[in-house]
Structure 1
């Protein structure tokens, strides 16, 4: 699977669970952890868990390895490590507190519009 396909899978899975404000940062040359960070949030612990589970299930369903999931039980900041893509799923309060987009201000944004159906962008 190409990086673009992995990004598309991650974005679509998050969007399917009504994730809010989905953004993807290009971390190449900035972080050794991953090439891309997907960042989004949910408005409740259950929604955060649903988003993380949706990404995990979609990845596994496509035969991909999920390297690890952290923070799922507390559902305030969940990491889903897909290798080249690390998904950061926040509770809305934590997202505004940590502001990863500002922390990684050197990273460029990836245009994800082509990954989504026009009718699916209501929550972004």
Structure 2
């Protein structure tokens, strides 16, 4: 399976948990650290945790295991590293504060249909 196919699975898992403003940024041409960033936010810590669990379960079932997770059940920013895909799950406030979309603006924001 390609990293793009794994991205689709992760985005679906996020959307199933009512993630808000899910964005996929293609960083293949600008950074060696990964192929894609997925950025999403949730309304509260319970939803953020549910989003994390849903992504981890869906990708695990697709035979992709997380390399590292930063953040815990009380975190308002969780980073999930799957080698070629890095998933950022934020509270709305933290997402606005860290503004990863601006930092990675040289990447190409793409829709799931483009994957």
Pairwise TM-score range, normalised by the shorter structure: over 0.9
TM-score (norm 1): 0.86
Looking at structure 1, the residues matched to 75 and 54 of structure 2 have their Cα atoms a distance apart, in angstroms, of: 14
Deviation by residue 1:77-110 (Cα, 9 ceiling, x = unmatched): 1011111110000011100111100111111111
1:1-124 paired onto structure 2 within 5 Å: 1-113=1-113
TM-score (norm 2): 0.92
1:113 CA displacement: 4.5
Deviation by residue 1:26-77 (Cα, 9 ceiling, x = unmatched): 1113223211000000010111111111100111112211111111233211
- Which stretches in structure 2 are left out of the alignment for 5+ residues? none
Q: Does the CA-based 8 Å contact 1:25-1:38 persist in structure 2?
A: yes
* Equivalent residue pairs, number: 115
Looking at structure 1, the residues matched to 32 and 11 of structure 2 have their Cα atoms a distance apart, in angstroms, of: 21
- Which stretches in structure 1 are left out of the alignment for 5+ residues? 116-124
Looking at structure 1, the residues matched to 89 and 27 of structure 2 have their Cα atoms a distance apart, in angstroms, of: 17
1:14 CA displacement: 0.6
